[in-house]
């Protein structure tokens, strides 16, 4: 789910998402939209995180945190948190996985100032965060988004 969040207190915003997730049986994770290389990036992170839970090969004890780690292509939670929301108004993407996703999405809509956001990420931010050179993304078949999804997939190898 994409939208614009007005966040006065990051901890309170994250807690509200957690409460929604608990209420509806869903894993919830919010991302700064600038760090998201499209819907496939997050779909891949969710699939890898769910597979890790099925196999008992997780780093995190919570699915939402494992989704964050895969999306960031990193095993360190502190570094992965850079993808999260900050205080102020910003475009966000909220992943809702499992449980009553429709009801959870309705509750998330009430947290957002607006429901429109640009999904696709900021190229400079993505290159810097995922450490992707222009030569590397040019060599990839689909460009920068494919390199980011490769980072997600490679996290399994790094375990």
Q: For strand 27-32 and strand 2-7, is the pairing parallel, antiparallel, or unpaired? A: unpaired
The CA-CA-CA angle for residues 100, 102, 103, to 5°, reads: 70
**pLDDT per position in the chain (159 positions), as tens?**
999 999 999 999 999 999 999 999 999 999 999 999 999 999 999 999 999 999 999 989 999 999 999 999 999 999 999 999 999 999 999 999 999 999 999 999 998 887 776 777 888 999 999 999 888 877 777 788 888 988 888 887 665
Per CATH, is 2-158 categorized as 3.30.2380.10? yes
Domain boundaries, the chain: 2-158
Q: What is the pLDDT of residue 53?
A: 94
Report residue 129 as tokens: 């965060």
Which residue in the block uniquely carries the two structure tokens 């929301």? 85
Q: What is the pLDDT of residue 101?
A: 96
Residues 125-143: b if buried by 16+ CB within 10 A, e if exposed: bbbebbebeeeebeebeee
Q: Is the pTM of this model over 0.75?
A: yes
């Amino acid at each position: 789910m994409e939208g614009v969040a007005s966040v006065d207190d990051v901890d309170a915003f994250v807690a509200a998402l957690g409460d929604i997730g608990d209420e509806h049986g869903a894993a919830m994770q919010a991302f700064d939209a600038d760090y998201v290389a499209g819907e496939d990036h997050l779909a891949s992170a969710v699939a890898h995180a769910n597979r890790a839970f099925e196999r008992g090969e997780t780093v995190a004890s919570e699915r939402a945190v494992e989704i964050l780690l895969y999306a960031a292509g990193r095993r360190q939670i502190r570094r992965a948190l850079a993808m999260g929301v900050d205080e102020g108004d910003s475009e966000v993407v909220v992943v809702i996985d499992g449980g009553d996703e429709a009801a959870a999405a309705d509750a998330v809509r009430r947290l957002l100032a607006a429901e429109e956001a640009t999904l696709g990420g900021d190229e400079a931010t993505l290159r810097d965060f995922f450490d992707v050179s222009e030569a590397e993304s040019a060599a990839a078949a689909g460009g920068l988004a494919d390199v980011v999804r490769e980072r997600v997939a490679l996290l399994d190898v790094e375990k």
